[in-house]
Amino acid sequence: MPLTDQEIKKIKPEAKPQKLFDGGGLFLLVTPQGGKCWRMKYRFTGKEKLLSLGTYPEVTLKDARSRREEARKQLAQGVDPSATKRIEKIKAKVQAGDTFDALADEFLAVKGPALAVTTIAKKKEIFKNNLRPWLGTRPVKEITAPELLPPVLKLGQRCARRRMGELRRWLADPVNYRALDKAEFDANGEQQKAKAQASNEAR
């Protein structure tokens, strides 16, 4: 019988973990400490697996059922929902470190030793005074051309045209830095690994 919100609210922790099943593999795990965690049992390539769907009450019964149905759709398409969730976590981690500030710092740390002292000093000055205030917290992939105009024009008001050219050129350094390509490669590599694993298990 499907769960109800009232039943979930009334359940009390016991000495051993309890499982309250809702159907379709979805159940609520109630720990002896009082925690309530949504889980989904499913089979993929002949093996039983367990998918975490969040904790109650942050994830409501309705939300948990919605996540179960999404996972079942993925299974119907031959996709392991656990692998999908793992890939999403990797992408979220990549995006969190994908700001102009983060990539500028990494660019300076990695490329700095190969540059002349005066060059790296100029880059740090440009980044600190003209780019970070405008673009620091912005994800690099979301930065648009109009956003680049304010720092360039601001610098143009008080610097020579040559320095504006440097700003435009150095602005591209963190954007083009290979860390982005590496991050995307890692995420895609994880996906390929999951597919390869599924293929091997199916044999």
Residue 195, in any domain of the structure: no
Cα 146 from Cα 165, distance rounded (Å)? 17
Residue 114, in any domain of the structure: yes
Helix (H, G, I), strand (E, B) or coil at 161: helix
- Higher pLDDT: 30 or 112? It is 30
Residues 10, 85, single domain; the answer is yes
Residue 134, in any domain of the structure: yes
Residue pair 165/54 in contact by the 8 Å Cβ criterion: no
CA angle 116, 122, 128 (to 5 degrees): 135
- What's the Rg (C-alpha) of the chain? 25
pLDDT band at residue 170 using 50, 70 and 90 as cut-offs: low
pLDDT band at residue 149 using 50, 70 and 90 as cut-offs: low
Number of domains in the chain: 2
Residues 105, 60, single domain; the answer is no
Residues 13, 36, single domain; the answer is yes
Residue 197, in any domain of the structure: no
Tokens of 43: 């089979």
Residues 80, 127, single domain; the answer is no
Cα 178 from Cα 168, distance rounded (Å)? 18
Angle at which helices 178-202 and 81-96 cross, to 10° = 170
**What is the pLDDT averaged over residues 99-117?**
76
pLDDT band at residue 26 using 50, 70 and 90 as cut-offs: very high
**What is the pLDDT averaged over residues 102-108?**
75
Last residue within a domain, chosen from 89, 108, 136 = 89
Residues 83, 143, single domain; the answer is no
Residue 115, in any domain of the structure: yes
pLDDT band at residue 188 using 50, 70 and 90 as cut-offs: very low
Residues 107, 65, single domain; the answer is no
Last residue within a domain, chosen from 89, 113, 139 = 89
Residues 14, 85, single domain; the answer is yes
Lowest-pLDDT choice from 71-85, 103-117, 149-163: 149-163
Residues 79, 113, single domain; the answer is no
Residue 65: CATH number of its domain:
3.30.160.390
Residues 83, 107, single domain; the answer is no
* Domain region containing 147: 100-180
pLDDT band at residue 189 using 50, 70 and 90 as cut-offs: very low
Residues 37, 107, single domain; the answer is no
Residue 141, in any domain of the structure: yes
Cα 203 from Cα 192, distance rounded (Å)? 17
